[in-house]
Amino acid sequence: MSCLIGHGNPEVVKTITDHASQLDHLFSAMISPPVINLAKRLTGLLPEGLDKAMFLSTGAESNEAAIRLAKVFTGRWEIVGLGLGWHGMTSGALAAQYHHGRKGHGPQVSIFIRWFAKALLINNQIPGNLILPAPNAYRSVFSNSDCSHDWETELNYGWEMVDRASCGSLAAVIMEPILSSGGMLTLPPGYLKAMKAHCERRGMLLIIDEAQTGIGRCGDMFAIEHEDVVPDILTLSKTLGNGLPLSAVITSNHIADVAKKNGFLFITTHFNDPLPAAVGLKVLEIVERDNLVARSREMGVKLHAGLNKLMSRYGCIGDVRGRGLMAAVEIVADRKTKASAPELGQRLSMKMIELGLSANIVTLASFGGIFRIAPPITISEENLNMGLEIMELAFGATEGSMPLYK
Ligand SMILES: Cc1ncc(COP(=O)(O)O)c(C=O)c1O
């Protein structure tokens, strides 16, 4: 997922080595050339309104900072997340993440409030976090008469619930443009525009988390381009550092200025570190120079064609989805009932590993029982075909895969 341009890329290795011998870390308030150049290059690639960047280490940190920025800018404190979204393990990010890992540690508030919340059996996370349904076209209960996904009713209904639950302090929505960990759910056309309109109507900010989709992974430099929406805050992580700990929070000059006046602070030891910034800069340079975004789009078409062919041959594949070099294969016990088949998924995964393909499936229900496929966007056609061939061999050799051919 993170290693966008491959492991051991010689140019990245050289950048790491050079910077390690010159300047790896600095006091965060001393802004070094790699940080300035990365900010310039990144904002130069983004539309107007995403003008100012700061750099942190992990995806969770970037979302934590984005959420705090939205709260300090708006002076409000309610955050809306999508069911099945993933934003990281720190308190604020996790509180907006409706996925595995929420339970068992209570709300992040004082002991008295925690006891009170427990006594009343209410919200087990930070107060002020609200949820909208995830747009899952394959499994949604909201459908049109032709059985297609009625995402507009689903979204409007969700907002009706949020408005009822809100105490009148709605600050921001945070969401991924493809809900990857939640089952690689792509957004229906028009969904993100409608979400932005909902936010604007309520004076809320829209935070888009492109930890996985950013920097060419899905066939656009950023997934927001595909949706033709400019969020108020954009976060990047995984792919920006090609697997090294580098994340970014990008927003408008206006939001940055107002938040600063309101006392916004987010600082860590590794905030604006030069070494990871130099790597991020190198990643952007390589992706642009080698036309890797177009390549990801082209190879993505081949990947999806191969996976769809597999679906036409094996009944245990309920759905194939994703975009560009970010794809998912959902394993089911029965296409009609769409019952999940974690055991079969596990056996298929073991078979693929035995045949030489690292293909893991997360069997926890909230991950959607899918194989998530995200090779480096530098992958050769030969390697891609080899991967697809191994998958086909594994499906053919695994009991319960339900071949549809003689
Ligand atoms: C979309 C998204 N946001 C945020 C995160 C959290 O990033 P990190 O694990 O670097 O904190 C992840 C991690 O999987 C992610 O997929």
pLDDT tens per residue across span 243-258: 999 999 999 999 999 9
The span from the CA of 342 to the CA of 349, in Å, is 10
CA–CA–CA angle 230, 179, 395 (5° rounding): 140
- Ligand 1 centroid distance, CA of 287 (Å): 21
pLDDT, average across residues 200-228: 98
- Bridging pattern class, strands 78-82 and 129-132: parallel
Domain 292-397, CATH homologous superfamily name and number? Aspartate Aminotransferase, domain 1 (3.90.1150.10)
CA–CA–CA angle 330, 404, 406 (5° rounding): 150
Quick one: which atom of ligand 1 is closest to the CA of 238?
A: 10
Chain segment 2-31, per-residue pLDDT in tens: 999 999 999 999 999 999 999 999 998 899
Is 80 exceeded by the pLDDT of residue 111? no
The span from the CA of 329 to the CA of 371, in Å, is 5
Task: State percent of the chain over pLDDT 90.
Answer: 88
Where do the CATH 3.90.1150.10 domains begin and end in the chain? 292-397
Where do the CATH 3.40.640.10 domains begin and end in the chain? 10-289
pLDDT of residue 116: 53
**The two structure tokens encoding residue 216:** 């060419």
pLDDT of residue 123: 47
**Residue written as tokens 């794809």?**
327
Q: Which runs of consecutive H residues, i.e. helices, occur in 183-242? A: 191-201, 223-227
Chain segment 277-290, per-residue pLDDT in tens: 999 999 999 999 99
Render the burial of 316-347: b for 16+ CB within 10 Å, e for the rest. Answer: bbbbbbbbbbbbbbbbbbeeeeeebbbebbeb
Output the ligand 1 site: residues, CB below 6 A.
58-60, 63, 86-88, 176, 180-181, 209, 211-212, 237
14 is catalytic: no
DSSP of 136-174: -TTT-S-B-TTS-B-HHHHHHHHHHHHHHH--S-EEEEE
Is 60 exceeded by the pLDDT of residue 375? yes
Is 60 exceeded by the pLDDT of residue 108? no
State the pLDDT confidence band at 367, using cuts at 50, 70 and 90. Answer: confident
Going by C-alpha positions, the residue among 175, 180, 213, 181 that lies closest to residue 196 is 175
pLDDT of residue 103: 84
159 is catalytic: no
State the pLDDT confidence band at 405, using cuts at 50, 70 and 90. Answer: confident
The mean of the pLDDT values for the chain is 94
The span from the CA of 331 to the CA of 37, in Å, is 44
> What is the 3-state composition of the chain as percent helix, strand, coil, each rounded to the nearest 5?
40, 15, 40
Quick one: which atom of ligand 1 is closest to the CA of 58?
A: 10
pLDDT, average across residues 106-134: 66
pLDDT of residue 238: 98
- Alpha carbon nearest to ligand 1 atom 3, residue: 87
Fold of 10-289: Aspartate Aminotransferase; domain 2 (3.40.640)
**The two structure tokens encoding residue 179:** 């809900």
The span from the CA of 155 to the CA of 88, in Å, is 24
The span from the CA of 181 to the CA of 326, in Å, is 12
The span from the CA of 190 to the CA of 197, in Å, is 11
pLDDT, average across residues 199-217: 98
Render the burial of 138-175: b for 16+ CB within 10 Å, e for the rest. Answer: eebebeeeeeebbbeebbeebbeebeeebeeebbbbbb
pLDDT of residue 227: 97
86 is catalytic: yes
pLDDT of residue 125: 61
22 is catalytic: no
